[in-house]
């Protein structure tokens, strides 16, 4: 290969790799958004399928805490950054609204950083800090 072709080839390969990494981060962010939507929809099956084994029990306990209230999510948007070895930190903006009778409580999601792991080709929520 000539030098310009080699440079072009390396540029194309690098672009593909960078695009793939971005898609993985998007998938991690979408996983958290799906998890939060399942939480407010009170979908235990979906919560379990989006949680890693170590987090599943805690996720279901969190789901139980919303059983007596009407819930919705408002202005949800999440972004992920790669930590290492298939682990992502996902930050979200927006809030969960929990309504009991006429009293509305807001849970600000920006105070949590969700941990997402890649396991068996799936992205799974594995807690937050």
Say how far apart CA 87 and CA 55 lie, in whole Å: 14
Tell me the chain's radius of gyration from C-alpha atoms: 19
- Which position has the higher pLDDT, 1 or 43? 43
Question: What DSSP string describes 82-124?
Answer: EEETTEEEEEEEEEEEEEETTEEEEEEGGG-EEEEEEETTEEE
Phi-psi category of residue 87: left, alpha or beta, with phi > 0 → left and psi -120 to 50 → alpha: beta
Say how far apart CA 112 and CA 5 lie, in whole Å: 47
Per residue in 49-91, pLDDT tens? 999 999 999 999 999 999 999 999 999 999 999 887 789 999 9
The domains located in the chain, with CATH, are: 3-128 (3.10.450.50)
- Which position has the higher pLDDT, 83 or 28? 28
Reported confidence tier of residue 19, pLDDT bands at 50, 70, 90: very low
């Amino acid at each position: 290969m000539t030098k310009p072709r080699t440079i072009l080839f390396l540029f194309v390969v690098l672009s593909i790799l960078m695009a793939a990494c971005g898609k993985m981060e998007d998938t991690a962010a979408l996983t958290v958004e799906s998890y939060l939507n399942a939480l407010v929809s009170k979908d235990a099956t979906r919560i379990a399928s989006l949680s890693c084994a170590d987090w599943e029990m805690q996720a279901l306990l969190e789901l139980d805490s919303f059983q007596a209230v009407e819930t919705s999510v408002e202005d949800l948007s999440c972004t992920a950054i790669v930590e290492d070895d298939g682990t992502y930190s996902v930050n979200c903006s927006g809030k969960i609204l929990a309504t009991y009778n006429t009293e509305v409580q807001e849970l600000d999601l920006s105070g949590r950083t969700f941990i997402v792991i890649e396991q068996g080709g799936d992205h799974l929520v594995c807690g937050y800090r």
